[in-house]
């Protein structure tokens, strides 16, 4: 079994934290893992994209070819649409529905929403609003990971949840519990 995942977003949104959680869970599960990251500006606001390849067999390349990705996990709808040409026919897109307007010529929000909704397999929620409403504004990325957990398939939601405890352990038990709650919110929001 294999799973090729594209993670996308804007600097500062927590895409690389999602990659760390998935990567750690894959390592603990004994899966082969390759990752390639493309960072935009080092400060908040630049594109951040990561290819994450997981497999029960050996992986030879860290890059995902067009037409072969199984899943896009995106913190931002425009960034999700940027990579749809990489998806295979059965692939899913899991994205925030809320734009992060970091450029002056950001596309029309309704047009973006329509394009995302037209995708054959998509889960889209206003994760920033969900995070704020639940007093966890810094955990929108973990809510998104929870939404994507069912579609990762090569790892179980429980394996990802356990990894959240390991990744955030140095920040204390309260932060671990908050992020596990964020994960559960996302997981339970998508059926």
pLDDT tens, residue by residue, 67-96: 999 999 999 999 999 999 999 999 999 999
Q: Mean pLDDT, the chain, as a whole number?
A: 93
Q: Which residues does 1 contact at the CB level (< 8 Å), separation at least 6?
A: 55, 56, 153, 154
Q: What is the pLDDT of residue 43?
A: 54
pTM to 2 decimals? Answer: 0.94
pLDDT tens, residue by residue, 21-80: 999 999 999 999 999 876 555 455 677 889 999 999 999 999 999 999 999 999 999 999
What percent of the chain is modeled with pLDDT above 90? 82
Which is higher by pLDDT, 187 or 39?
A: 187
Q: Name the CATH code of domain 2-189 (choices 3.30.565.10, 3.30.1280.10, 3.40.920.10, 3.30.450.20).
A: 3.40.920.10
């Amino acid at each position: 079994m294999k799973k090729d995942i594209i993670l996308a977003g804007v600097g500062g949104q927590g895409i690389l934290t999602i990659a760390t959680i998935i990567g750690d869970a894959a390592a603990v599960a004994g899966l082969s893992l390759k990752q390639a990251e493309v960072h935009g500006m080092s400060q908040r606001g630049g594109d951040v994209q990561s290819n994450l390849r997981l497999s029960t067999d050996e992986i030879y390349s860290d890059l995902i070819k067009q037409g072969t990705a199984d899943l896009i996990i995106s913190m931002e709808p425009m960034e999700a649409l940027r990579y749809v040409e990489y998806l295979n026919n059965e692939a899913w897109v899991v994205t925030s529905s809320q734009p992060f307007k970091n450029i002056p010529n950001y596309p029309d929000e309704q047009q973006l929403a329509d394009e995302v909704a037209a995708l054959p397999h998509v889960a889209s929620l206003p994760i920033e609003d969900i995070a704020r409403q639940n007093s966890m504004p810094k955990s929108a990325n973990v809510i998104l990971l929870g939404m994507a957990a069912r579609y990762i398939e090569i790892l179980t939601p429980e394996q990802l949840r356990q990894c959240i405890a390991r990744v955030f352990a140095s920040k204390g038990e309260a932060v671990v519990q908050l992020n596990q709650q964020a994960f559960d919110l996302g997981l339970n929001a998508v059926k």
